[in-house]
Amino acid sequence: MEITLQSVNVLAKMLSKKEISSVELTNEYLNKIKKKDKHINSYITVTEELALKKAKESDERRFKGTTLGILDGIPYSLKDNIITSGILTTCASRMLKDFIPNYDSTVYERLNNAGAVLLGKNNMDEFAMGSSTVSSHFKITSNPHNTDYVAGGSSGGSAAAVSAGLCGFSLGTDTGGSIRQPASFCGVYGLCPTYGRVSRYGLIPFASSLDRIGPLTRDSKDLSVIMSVISGYDDKDETSSSTDTDFLKKEAIDWSKLKIGVIEEIASKDNSSPGAHKVFSSAIEFFKNKNADIKSYSLKEISNAALTAYYIISSAEASSNLAKYDGLNYGYCCPDYESLKDMYKKTRSIGFGSEVKKRVMLGTYVLSAGYAEKYYIKALEIRNRLTEKLEKIFSECDIILTPAAPLSAYTKKYADKAGVKVYPDDAFASFVNLAGVTALSVPFGHDLNSMPIGIQLIGNKFTEKMLIEIAGGMKDGI
């Protein structure tokens, strides 16, 4: 297998056996990016100089015997809404196209301290709002399996880079499916950790109560390694959890004792594309053959209310989180204005793309006096109800099984015109964020066009390890 497509664990072994140096490995990726990324557009910024500097430092440590851990010397990329000091962090928006922060995100700090090598920042939907990267101010990311198709979103760049072997692994973010859906579209693993598992300090927020940072990888075991470095309580983030998990310790799964829940409203044929449904059915077969217990549940909120609640809550929080972009101190500012209000209006009209403006307006509306009761407060109630119901299901099940998305990747042409038609794509994913639980997208098959389709494993809070183990065991079922 081509070295750039190897898993992180294999690369780490190669580095430790000195079969390859970090500088050599990094150059492999940098060269491949130069050759291939013009067709895929998974990177906004490539940090060549920095990467080679970090790789050299890693090799020096290895020579001295002071290697920092498994990730020391491993090249990776970050979605461009994660703050990196001294490096452009744009959120794929005109608003921040020249923004270079002078402070760090916690995940970047932790990966640095682990010796990992940053290759660059990945393309995404603008401010993480979208599911195809069509709303990126720069370019749309293509699916490496067929470049006429989208890579998904909003972490489309991350998923494509991992799939195409343009990095060892990537970190994306997930607010309503933004790691899992592109992972499914690109045929890679994407973990949406429990809310609070990974510090959000330095994540430029879309929806603060829904956002998570998570890894995208080519192998399920890589997820454990990365989680062991990036997860854990952060003093700077009050919402981060102090639940400690040893991700590197193996946890064996007794398949025959596994209790799997299936949600009627999702499992129904009518709610997925034929390809997605076919792969989902084969997943059910796989678990049946392992003698797992499969039980069906009805969760009627899934049919409508949950998705609506997701759009209301995420847009409301986004409208507040994006209020700071006004051109006054940093970021894009419209050069001609006649007053303060005019500056605000013009800067935000031009600085933001249409999808972002749509959500900000929607969010402002649902929080407004006279409407908040009807929309926002109601959405919170739905969220609470959903969370309670899921808790009940998890009291009887270990995991819930769904297709990772109702469909596989569609064409870029379609994405360009689809507008809000793609909103229901989040139906299988967004309720996970609303309930605060965790989910993993596992590649499990292809549709009739040979485009990848994934399966989603949903677990109760802090059960990522179990999900990763199950995913590992599913490899032989693909």
Partner 1 sequence: MEYELTVGLEVHAELKTENKIFCNCKNTFGKEPNSVCCPVCTGMPGTLPKLNREVVKLAIQAGSALNCKLNKISCFDRKNYFYPDLPKGYQITQKRVPILTDGYLIIEGEKINIERIHIEEDAGKLTYDEEGNYLPDYNRCGIPLIEIVSKPDIHSAKTAVEYLKKLRLYLIYSGVSDCKMQEGSFRCDVNVSVKPKGTDITTERTEIKNASSFKFIERAINYEYERQISLIEQGIPIKRMTLKIDEETGKTIPMREKESSEDYRYFPEPDLKDLILTDDEIYYFNNFEFLNPDRLIKKYTEDIKLPYKNAIDILNKPVFLRLFEETIPLTANPQGAANIITSELFKNNEASLLPSQLAELSDLVYKEKISSATAKKIISYIKHTKLSANDVAKERNLFQINNTDIITELVLSAIKNNPKACEDYKNGKKSSIGPILGEINRKTGGLVNQRLAVKILEDNINV
Q: Which residues are catalytic?
A: 79, 154, 178
Return the closest-CA partner of residue 379 out of 304, 307, 313: 313
Residue (206 or 444) nearer to partner 1, CB: 206
- Residue span binding partner 1 (CB under 8 A) among the ranges 30-38, 362-370, 414-422, 462-470: 362-370
Q: Cβ 60 to partner 1, closest distance in Å? A: 31
- Whole-number Å distance between alpha carbons of 19 and 272: 46
Residue (379 or 467) nearer to partner 1, CB: 379
- DSSP β-bridge partners for residue 215: 171
Q: Cβ 76 to partner 1, closest distance in Å? A: 19
Tokens of 8: 């992180």
Residue (48 or 237) nearer to partner 1, CB: 237
The CA-to-CA distance between both ends of the chain, in Å, stands at: 19
Q: Cβ 344 to partner 1, closest distance in Å? A: 6
- 76, 185, 201, 394: residue in contact with partner 1 (rule CB under 8 A): 201
Q: Cβ 262 to partner 1, closest distance in Å? A: 31
- Residue span binding partner 1 (CB under 8 A) among the ranges 166-174, 179-187, 236-244, 280-288: 236-244
- 364, 414, 424, 477: residue in contact with partner 1 (rule CB under 8 A): 364
Burial of residue 244 (number of CB atoms within 10 Å: 0-12, 13-18, 19+): exposed
From residue 369 to residue 388, the character string flagging contacts with partner 1 as x (rule: CB under 8 A) and all else as - is x--x---x------------
> What is the length of the chain?
478
> Rule CB under 8 A: is residue 11 a binding residue for partner 1?
no
- List the interface residues with partner 1, window 102-161 (CB under 8 A): 102-103, 105
> Rule CB under 8 A: is residue 202 a binding residue for partner 1?
yes
- Residue the block writes with tokens 């209000």: 341
Residue (96 or 455) nearer to partner 1, CB: 96
- Whole-number Å distance between alpha carbons of 390 and 342: 47
- Residue span binding partner 1 (CB under 8 A) among the ranges 151-159, 297-305, 323-331, 429-437: 323-331
> Rule CB under 8 A: is residue 449 a binding residue for partner 1?
no
Q: Cβ 465 to partner 1, closest distance in Å? A: 25
- Whole-number Å distance between alpha carbons of 310 and 272: 20
Residue (240 or 245) nearer to partner 1, CB: 240
- 174, 326, 398, 425: residue in contact with partner 1 (rule CB under 8 A): 326
The per-residue DSSP string of 419-475 comes to: GGGGGGGGGGTHHHHHHT-EEEEEEEEE-TTS-EEEEEEEESTT-HHHHHHHHHHGG
User: Residue 259: what residue type?
Assistant: K
Please state at what angle helix 305-321 crosses helix 354-367, rounded to 10 degrees. 100
CA distances from 309 to 6, 26, 174, 313, 428 (A): 40, 43, 16, 6, 13
Residue (104 or 425) nearer to partner 1, CB: 104
Q: SS3 for 189?
A: strand
Q: SS3 for 360?
A: helix
Size of site (CB under 8 A) for partner 1: 44
| φ, ψ dihedrals at 292, nearest 5° | -75, 155
- 186, 367, 451, 470: residue in contact with partner 1 (rule CB under 8 A): 367
Residue (143 or 241) nearer to partner 1, CB: 241
Category of 444 on φ-ψ map: left (φ > 0), alpha (ψ -120 to 50) or beta? alpha
Residue (63 or 103) nearer to partner 1, CB: 103
- Residue span binding partner 1 (CB under 8 A) among the ranges 29-37, 168-176, 303-311, 322-330: 322-330
> Rule CB under 8 A: is residue 18 a binding residue for partner 1?
no
> Rule CB under 8 A: is residue 187 a binding residue for partner 1?
no
- Residue the block writes with tokens 């470095």: 229
- Residue the block writes with tokens 């494993």: 457
Please report the sign of the dihedral spanned by the C-alpha atoms of residue 7, residue 475, residue 244, residue 230: positive
CA distances from 34 to 50, 85, 218, 252 (A): 16, 24, 21, 41
- List the interface residues with partner 1, window 34-63 (CB under 8 A): none
Return the closest-CA partner of residue 216 out of 404, 426, 17, 2: 404
> Rule CB under 8 A: is residue 96 a binding residue for partner 1?
yes
Query: Which residue ranges make up the site for partner 1 (CB under 8 A)?
Result: 81-83, 89, 91, 96, 99, 101-103, 105, 200-205, 207-209, 235-239, 316-317, 319-320, 322-324, 326, 328-330, 340, 344, 364, 367-369, 372, 376
